[in-house]
């Protein structure tokens, strides 16, 4: 059974933290492709974590994935200054 | 005050994001697994601190403002105190675990959403963990950012 409420909390926490990401023009330049690579790496980490911490839902860590999606959505919606 | 090489700067933001996600995962599983609010909050702050150390206080991708940290810290402390007082008034003891059915007034649909279906019936512990995690994240990040700011101030004065 998929637990919705913890995923919502993970999404909210990710949104709160992702809203503060502001990429600046320095030595490094993170593009859309960089974030896709981070998303793929995050999916691998979530898969390797198993169904932690709820043990009864999907075989990936849904809290981890929700937090990752929350961070990206927060970055896209709230942190558009740069 | 940027201190890291190009390689460090390339890898630090992805590692910070993964660390923050792991911290949030630890917070949400704190009632049934090792970990919890403090540990998860410290992991999130670890991600922020890594960025501040590598990119420098002025160029860090995680730009936490004074107001942001203040609001998160206050919400965390206030939520913890409110849950404690609910336990005091409903159960007779401060932080008494009253569960998700407070005073028998919460509808069944909301109870089933709030209730984590595990054998321990954690009650309010997951929600306490979330507030503690917010507070620890804000507090530890503020300490690291303040130290980095002091260092920058001293370096600029010399």
**Shortest Cα–Cα distance, A77 to chain B (Å):** 15
The pLDDT tens digits for B46-102 are 999 999 999 888 888 998 989 999 999 999 999 999 989 988 988 888 988 887 766
Statement: residue B120 has pLDDT above 80: no
Helices A62-78/B6-28 angle, 10° precision: 120
Report the pLDDT value the prediction gives residue A50, as an integer from 0 to 100.
87
DSSP letter string over A3-72? -HHHHHHHHHHHHHHHTTB---SSS----HHHHHHHHHHHHHHHHHHTTTTTSSS-SS-HHHHHHHHHHH
User: Contact B29/A53 with Cβ under 8 angstroms?
Assistant: yes
**B119 part of contact set with chain A, CB < 8 Å:** no
**B63 part of contact set with chain A, CB < 8 Å:** yes
Q: Can you give the pTM of this predicted structure? A: 0.89
Say how far apart CA B151 and CA B63 lie, in whole Å: 17
Predicted-complex ipTM score:
0.92
User: Contact A68/A49 with Cβ under 8 angstroms?
Assistant: no
Shortest CB distance from B62 goes to which of A20, A26, A42? A20
Distance from first CA to last CA of chain A, Å, rounded? 40
Yes or no, beta carbons of B18 and A52 under 8 Å apart: no
């Amino acid at each position: 059974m998929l637990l919705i409420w913890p995923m919502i909390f993970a999404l909210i926490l990710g949104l709160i933290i992702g809203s503060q990401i502001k990429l600046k023009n320095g030595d490094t330049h993170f593009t859309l492709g960089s974030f896709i690579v981070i998303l793929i790496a995050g999916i691998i980490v979530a898969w390797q974590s198993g169904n932690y911490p709820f043990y009864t839902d999907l075989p990936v860590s849904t809290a981890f994935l929700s937090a990752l999606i929350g961070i990206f959505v927060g970055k896209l919606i709230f942190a558009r200054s740069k | 005050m940027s201190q890291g090489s190009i390689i460090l700067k390339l890898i630090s933001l992805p590692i910070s994001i993964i660390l923050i996600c792991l911290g949030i995962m630890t917070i949400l599983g704190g009632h049934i697994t090792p970990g919890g609010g403090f540990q998860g909050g410290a992991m999130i702050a670890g991600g922020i601190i890594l960025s501040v150390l590598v990119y420098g206080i002025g160029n860090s991708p995680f730009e936490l403002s004074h107001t942001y940290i203040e609001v998160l810290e206050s919400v965390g402390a206030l939520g913890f105190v409110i849950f404690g007082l609910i336990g005091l008034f409903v159960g007779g003891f401060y932080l008494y675990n009253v569960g998700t059915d407070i005073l028998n007034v919460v509808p069944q649909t909301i109870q089933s959403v709030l209730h984590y279906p595990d054998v321990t019936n954690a009650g309010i512990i997951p929600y306490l963990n979330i507030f503690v995690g917010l507070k620890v994240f804000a507090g530890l990040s503020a300490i690291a950012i303040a130290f980095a700011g002091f260092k920058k101030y001293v370096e600029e004065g010399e």
